[in-house]
Chain A
Amino acid sequence: MHLDGNALAGPLGEIFAVDITAAVGRCANCGMKGPVATLRVYDAGPGLVARCPRCEEVVLRLVRGPQEAWLDLRGTVSLRIPLQ
């Protein structure tokens, strides 16, 4: 069963200075715009895979190793990030 983008807050919070789950992303496949928190997140594998809630294409992948994180944003056209 999938989770949602809220679950990315900790893993992405380790990398970015601001919260990315409140950012509005745009899907490279279908063009849907929505908060990262609303993505479908699958955590059964060795990393996290986030899919578009509309077209289910992969939007973001994150793998954390002992020394580095690998962030793949292939399915994201843009992120509009709120700055406080």
Chain B
Amino acid sequence: MIRWRRARLAAAREETPTARTLVFDVEDWPGHLAGQHVDVRLTAPDGYTAQRSYSLATPEGVELTVEGLPDGEVSPYLVGELAVGDEIELRGPVGGWFVWRPAPTPVLLVAGGSGIVPLMAMIRARRTAGSTAPFHLVYSVRTPADRYYGDELDRPDPGLSVTPLYTRVEPRRRIGKDDLPEPGPDVFVCGPTGFVEAVADLLLDRGHDPGRIRTERFGG
């Protein structure tokens, strides 16, 4: 059984003008798999609670990247107010399906916006494990400035290739069938629900085996 744990903010850094990466100290963290997530719970002084799920961004430690949504109940606090030393409640790691375990099979990752977070955990886990499995990332995001982990993704990482698609920079590029490779790799898709549904349809059109496509939708 999973229980709520106290998590203390140990460090934070700006990822983009609207997103922040948060590093937490969590006592007795049991470790996790790349792709897993946590539930975060905030409690107001009057007892009102709000809860959201966030993917773990790294294969080790508890690191989340949170996009501040203007009308959000939890994210504006996590991005704009939570200070180093502050505590929140967190439950996890959870999710045993949308996970990558080190294996030699080629992998295709398709990210829409902040859907990059669990996929970045997989890229980092591959590096940590010294895996030579070929990874290809297709990253659809509004503009170059909206990319998370930009510097890290720009650095050479043998066996990893990255195709960025910018939806708000000319030529405005929506993901299409030709952006996706032929069947063969295991596929992980994460992003807003509409994006994930569109990519899943494109993958099936392209002939990918539905049994090798794993998806995670975060609404929107």
Contacts and interface: CB of A to CB of B under 8 A. Distances in A.
Interface in B191-212: 192-194
B56 to A, nearest CB: 12
Contacts of B1: 13-17
Contacts of A17: 1
B97 A35 contact: yes
B37 to A, nearest CB: 7
Contact of A1 (B95, B96, B193, B214): B193
A19 B96 contact: yes
B96 A21 contact: yes
Nearest to A41: B217
Given A1-B194, A37-B95, A10 B217 contact: no
A76 interface: no
A2 B193 contact: yes
Nearest to B192: A1
Interface residues of A, number: 22
A30 B54 CA distance: 32
Contact of A37 (B38, B98, B219): B98
B51 to A, nearest CB: 8
A3 B218 contact: yes
Interface of A: 1-7, 9-10, 13-17, 19, 21-22, 35-38, 82
Interface of B: 1-3, 37-39, 53, 91-92, 94-98, 192-194, 214-220
8 contacts: A4-B216, A5-B97, A6-B37, A9-B95, A10-B39, A10-B91, A21-B97, A22-B97
Closest 8 CB pairs of A and B: A19-B96, A9-B94, A13-B2, A37-B97, A10-B39, A22-B96, A9-B95, A22-B97
